[in-house]
């Protein structure tokens, strides 16, 4: 139901109006002033509250449901982190406030830089990228700056394994590189022989997501980094799946030169909320001169301060007007402090334990794992290729039926390498009972697929709307509400 | 079941190529490919007069499931594109080998077609996937 359906001419929520101002600005050119009404719904305050509360109840969210959306790390983010970040002292601080009244804020960011350096094994961290995409861009821009600085302009290619995150090739192209895809083996590892064939003097770098989108850890990462480094290329680590290794393995130890982290995923800000995000970059010593500014420095005499291009003259530059999304950074800081060193280790452990437990249980009840011989990382893939052939029930049908059982669906049809797949990421914040509940629902859906497949293929049945026509939505894209 | 017409050649990346009587080569995606993709919702075609190399990207096909690159089966110059697909991308699903063609090439070297897969070999590849 649209809010316009409940409107009544002349009705409004006057209590919400700003008091009328005497000095209405008259310097707006006539041509730019509107000559019609804004088209807002004529409804009361209570109608607005009920309408949007009702819409919010129809949402699936981590506050309401288990949300195993693979590759997205939809874990519970503690309220405490948000509470700390919204301390009025932080909220009221003006971004141009003098350093003397910003020491607490800067100290938090300085310490967050050191925690992130510690957990990733990187030599320097810049918190400024405003999102994962900007972090990736900054990372590859630093690779470019490094080669430029060494007058190595023959390096025009970025290598990307087919199991990498889809944003990687896009980032490489944005930075002016040509992308070469490296195939993976049947076990989900990078095809090392294929890599050796294409790596060479034109290789600027290799972008990897490890664990990859296949939900497995690259076992030959040491050899891979050796091959790329020997050829003069650099290694980029996409931090999309950092949750799997948090506190257990460091990208710096694996030989990566640069990486980004999605704080809005791994560090207490929900992913997929439409932003704001935060994608800090970490670099090895080699790339330390190029980090985006500002970063927070500390000087025993003067305290915390912004380090800019005067101290980092080879920086790739600023990425935004100030420095990153402060609220997200503070939430990440609070989260890191809440976890502590020991707690950070448990994130990776439990994320991995939960995924392996669930993969094992789903295999027991009859589902096919895409990589049965591999230990899962924080996520794993099941394939419904045989069910789709024998019963006509697809991965999308199962995903839709899960909604009826009260679960948000896993990621469907991604990665593209695996036919009819569901990518499942339970995260570390779910209890064994919740994991068992999901397995039970999946087993029940598999039984339905065998005995009454139309129940699955026509799902969902209990949602506010039935199966949406996504083909029509894509072919006849119409995003404008035309008011009658 | 997917169809694999005998008179055309195939690529392991699921394009087909047909040598026309006038010496041009018509390119599209196979019946198997459209089945796997599901409902096609968008097709991006190359520019007319564009030079394309064999095995290099020449377009994009997008379905509700996935977006995939289309590779040129042979090298040549693009001489025509199927504009029908812009407004009716479902034509790819309805008629992959006829009305749903993507583009036509003036090939640099017709003998490149000999290196492509015959129908039976391509069918074997698809059925073993």
For chain B, the structural domain boundaries read 9-110
Strand order from edge to edge, sheet including A281-283 = A124-126, A281-283, A258-261, A234-239, A203-209, A157-161, A178-182
One domain, residues A143 and A188: yes
Q: Does residue A72 fall inside a structural domain?
A: no
Number of CB pairs, chain A paired with chain B, less than 8 A apart: 16
Tell me how many domains chain A contains: 3
The answer to whether residue B90 scores a pLDDT higher than 80 is yes
CA distance A292 to A106: 17
Cis check for the bond before A189: say yes or no (omega within 30 of 0): no
The answer to whether residue A417 scores a pLDDT higher than 90 is no
Q: Are B20 and B14 in contact (CB under 8 A)?
A: no
Q: Which CATH number does B9-110 carry? A: 2.40.50.100
CB-CB under 8 Å, B129 with A471: no
One domain, residues A134 and A274: yes
Q: Are A298 and A110 in contact (CB under 8 A)?
A: yes
Q: Per-residue confidence at B124, pLDDT binned at 50, 70, 90?
A: very high
Q: Distance, in angstroms, between B64 CA and closest chain A CA?
A: 6
The torsion angles phi and psi of B69, rounded to 5 degrees, stand at: -75, 150
Q: Per-residue confidence at A115, pLDDT binned at 50, 70, 90?
A: very high
Of the ranges A58-62, A142-146, A185-189, A470-474, the best mean pLDDT one: A142-146
Q: Per-residue confidence at B107, pLDDT binned at 50, 70, 90?
A: very high
Q: CA dist A269 to A139, A276, A330, Å?
A: 22, 9, 10
Q: Does residue A70 fall inside a structural domain?
A: no
Query: Using a CB-CB distance cutoff of 8 angstroms, which residues of chain B are in contact with residue A178?
Result: none
Q: Does residue A66 fall inside a structural domain?
A: no
Q: Per-residue confidence at A33, pLDDT binned at 50, 70, 90?
A: confident
What residue in A sits closest to B88 (Cα-Cα)?
A475
CB-CB under 8 Å, A471 with B39: yes
Q: Does A477 touch chain B (CB under 8 A)?
A: no
Of A413, A470, A471, which is closest to B66 when you measure between CB atoms? A413
The answer to whether residue A21 scores a pLDDT higher than 90 is no
Query: Using a CB-CB distance cutoff of 8 angstroms, which residues of chain A are in contact with residue B56?
Result: none
Residues A263/A268/A272/A276 CA torsion (nearest 10 deg): -60
CB-CB under 8 Å, B90 with A475: yes
Domain boundary residue, one of A339, A361, A384: A339
Structure tokens of A131?
């999102």
pLDDT at A93 (0 to 100): 92
CB-CB under 8 Å, A419 with B41: no
Q: Are A147 and A204 in contact (CB under 8 A)?
A: yes
What residue in B sits closest to A477 (Cα-Cα)?
B41
pLDDT at A26 (0 to 100): 73
CA distance A336 to A95: 23
> Which of A384, A399, A474, A476 is the best substitution to test chain B (most B C-beta atoms within 10 A)?
A474
> Which of A166, A420, A471 is the best substitution to test chain B (most B C-beta atoms within 10 A)?
A471
Q: What pTM was computed for the model? A: 0.88
CA distance A410 to A357: 16
The better pLDDT of the pair B65, A388 is held by A388
Q: Are A447 and A454 in contact (CB under 8 A)?
A: no
Strand order from edge to edge, sheet including B76-81 = B9-10, B15-19, B25-29, B103-107, B76-81, B51-52
The better pLDDT of the pair A200, A480 is held by A200
Domain boundary residue, one of A339, A357, A388: A339
One domain, residues A229 and A334: yes
CB-CB under 8 Å, B90 with A413: no
CB-CB under 8 Å, B66 with A416: yes
Q: Does A474 touch chain B (CB under 8 A)?
A: yes
CA distance A110 to B45: 50
Structure tokens of A466?
């039935």
pLDDT at A247 (0 to 100): 86
pLDDT at A392 (0 to 100): 94
In the three-class reduction of DSSP (H, G, I as helix; E, B as strand; rest coil), residue A401 is classed as helix
Q: Distance, in angstroms, between B65 CA and closest chain A CA?
A: 6
CB-CB under 8 Å, A475 with B36: no
Query: Using a CB-CB distance cutoff of 8 angstroms, which residues of chain B are in contact with residue A470?
Result: 64
Q: CA dist A406 to A67, A403, A414, Å?
A: 10, 5, 22
Q: Per-residue confidence at A73, pLDDT binned at 50, 70, 90?
A: very high
Q: Does A15 touch chain B (CB under 8 A)?
A: no
Q: Does A416 touch chain B (CB under 8 A)?
A: yes
The answer to whether residue A272 scores a pLDDT higher than 80 is no
Cis check for the bond before A460: say yes or no (omega within 30 of 0): yes
CA distance B76 to A416: 29
Q: What is the ipTM of this complex?
A: 0.72
Q: Are A40 and A7 in contact (CB under 8 A)?
A: no
Q: Does A475 touch chain B (CB under 8 A)?
A: yes
| Strands (E) located in A348-478 | 368-369, 380-383, 411-412, 421-424
Q: CA dist A200 to A130, A177, A195, B15, Å?
A: 33, 15, 10, 30
Q: Are A300 and A237 in contact (CB under 8 A)?
A: no
Q: Distance, in angstroms, between A414 CA and closest chain B CA?
A: 8
CA nearest neighbour of B109 among B77, B75, B78:
B75
> Which of B2, B13, B37, B41 is the best substitution to test chain A (most A C-beta atoms within 10 A)?
B41
pLDDT at A484 (0 to 100): 58
pLDDT tens track for B46-89: 999 999 999 999 999 999 888 889 999 999 999 999 999 999 99
Which residues lie below 8 Å from residue A23, measured CB to CB, with a gap of 6+? none
CA nearest neighbour of B56 among B37, B76, B41:
B76
The answer to whether residue A408 scores a pLDDT higher than 90 is yes
Q: Distance, in angstroms, between B20 CA and closest chain A CA?
A: 32
One domain, residues A273 and A192: yes
Q: Which stretches within A175-258 are classed as H helix?
A: 192-198, 221-230, 251-254
One domain, residues A14 and A98: no
CB-CB under 8 Å, A416 with B41: no
The answer to whether residue B95 scores a pLDDT higher than 80 is yes
CATH number at residue A124: 3.40.640.10
Of B64, B66, B68, which is closest to A474 when you measure between CB atoms? B64
pLDDT tens track for A120-160: 999 999 999 999 999 999 999 999 999 999 999 999 999 99
One domain, residues A177 and A198: yes
Q: Does A173 touch chain B (CB under 8 A)?
A: no
The better pLDDT of the pair A470, B98 is held by B98
One domain, residues A406 and A444: yes
Q: Per-residue confidence at A35, pLDDT binned at 50, 70, 90?
A: confident
One domain, residues A243 and A142: yes
Domain boundary residue, one of A319, A339, A359: A339
Structure tokens of A37?
């009404």
DSSP state for residue B113 in the 8-state scheme: G
The residue-averaged pLDDT of A400-408 equals 97
What residue in A sits closest to B87 (Cα-Cα)?
A475
pLDDT tens track for A281-304: 999 999 999 999 999 999 999 899
Query: Using a CB-CB distance cutoff of 8 angstroms, which residues of chain B are in contact with residue A474?
Result: 41-42, 64
Q: What is the DSSP pairing of strand A178-182 with strand A157-161?
A: parallel
The better pLDDT of the pair B50, A37 is held by B50
CB-CB under 8 Å, B36 with A471: no
Of A416, A419, A471, which is closest to B64 when you measure between CB atoms? A471
One domain, residues A222 and A295: yes
Q: Does residue A187 fall inside a structural domain?
A: yes
pLDDT at B41 (0 to 100): 93
One domain, residues A27 and A160: no
One domain, residues A451 and A351: yes
What residue in B sits closest to A476 (Cα-Cα)?
B41
One domain, residues A348 and A334: no
Q: Per-residue confidence at B129, pLDDT binned at 50, 70, 90?
A: low
The pLDDT > 70 percentage for chain B reads 99
Q: Which domain holds residue A26?
A: 3-58
pLDDT at A139 (0 to 100): 98
The residue-averaged pLDDT of A205-213 equals 94
């Amino acid at each position: 139901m649209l809010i316009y359906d409940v409107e009544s001419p002349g009705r409004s929520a006057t209590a919400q109006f700003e008091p009328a101002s005497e000095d209405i600005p008259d310097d707006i050119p006539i041509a730019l002033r509107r000559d019609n009404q804004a088209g807002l719904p004529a409804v009361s305050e209570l109608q607005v509250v009920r309408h949007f509360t009702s819409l919010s109840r129809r949402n699936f969210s981590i506050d309401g449901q288990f949300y195993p959306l693979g590759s997205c790390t939809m874990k519970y983010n503690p309220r405490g982190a948000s509470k700390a970040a919204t301390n009025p002292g932080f909220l009221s601080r003006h971004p141009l406030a003098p350093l003397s009244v910003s020491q607490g804020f800067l100290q938090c960011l300085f310490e967050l830089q050191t925690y992130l350096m510690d957990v990733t094994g990187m030599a320097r961290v810049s918190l400024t990228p405003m999102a994962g995409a900007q972090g990736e861009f900054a990372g590859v821009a630093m690779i470019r700056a490094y080669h430029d600085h060494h007058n190595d302009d023959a390096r025009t290619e970025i290598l990307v394994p087919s199991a990498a995150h889809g944003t990687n090739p896009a980032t490489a192209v944005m930075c002016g590189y040509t992308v070469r895809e490296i195939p993976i083996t049947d076990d989900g590892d990078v095809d090392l022989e294929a890599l050796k064939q294409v790596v060479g003097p034109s290789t600027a770098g290799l972008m990897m997501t490890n664990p990859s989108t296949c939900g497995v850890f690259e076992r030959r990462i040491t050899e891979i980094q050796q091959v790329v480094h020997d050829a003069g290329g650099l290694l980029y680590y996409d931090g999309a799946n950092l949750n799997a290794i948090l506190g257990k393995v460091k990208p710096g130890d694996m030989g990566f030169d640069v990486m980004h982290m999605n704080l809005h995923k791994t560090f207490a800000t929900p992913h997929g909320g439409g932003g704001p995000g935060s994608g800090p970059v970490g670099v090895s010593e080699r790339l330390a001169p190029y980090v985006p500014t500002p970063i927070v420095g500390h000087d025993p005499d003067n305290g915390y301060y912004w380090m800019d291009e005067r101290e980092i003259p080879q920086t790739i530059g600023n990425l935004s007007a100030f420095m990153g999304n402060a609220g997200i950074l503070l939430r990440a800081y609070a989260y890191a402090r809440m976890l502590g060193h020991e707690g950070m280790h448990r994130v990776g452990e439990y994320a991995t334990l939960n995924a392996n437990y669930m993969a094992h249980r789903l295999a027991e009840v009859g589902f096919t794992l895409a990589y049965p011989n591999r230990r899962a990382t924080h996520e794993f893939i099941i394939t419904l290729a045989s069910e789709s052939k024998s019963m006509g029930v697809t991965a999308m049908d199962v995903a839709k039926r899960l909604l009826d059982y009260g679960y948000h669906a896993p990621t469907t049809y991604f990665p593209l390498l695996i036919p009819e797949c569901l990518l499942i990421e339970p995260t570390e914040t779910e209890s064994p009972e919740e994991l068992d509940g999901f397995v039970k629902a999946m087993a029940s859906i598999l039984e339905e697929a065998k005995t009454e497949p139309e129940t699955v293929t026509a799902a969902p049945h209990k949602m506010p709307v039935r199966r949406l026509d996504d083909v029509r939505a894509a072919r006849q894209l119409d995003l404008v509400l035309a008011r009658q | 079941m997917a169809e694999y017409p005998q008179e055309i050649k195939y690529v392991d990346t699921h394009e087909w190529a047909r040598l026309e009587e006038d010496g041009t080569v018509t390119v599209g995606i196979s019946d198997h490919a459209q089945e796997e993709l599901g409902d096609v919702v968008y097709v991006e075609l190359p520019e007319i007069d564009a030079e394309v190399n064999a095995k290099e990207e020449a377009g994009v096909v997008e379905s509700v499931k996935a977006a995939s690159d289309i590779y040129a089966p042979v090298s040549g110059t693009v001489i025509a594109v199927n504009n029908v697909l812009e407004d009716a991308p479902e034509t790819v699903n309805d008629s992959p080998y006829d009305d749903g063609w993507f583009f036509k090439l003036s090939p640099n070297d017709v003998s490149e077609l000999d290196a492509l897969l015959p129908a039976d070999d391509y069918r074997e590849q698809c059925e073993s996937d």
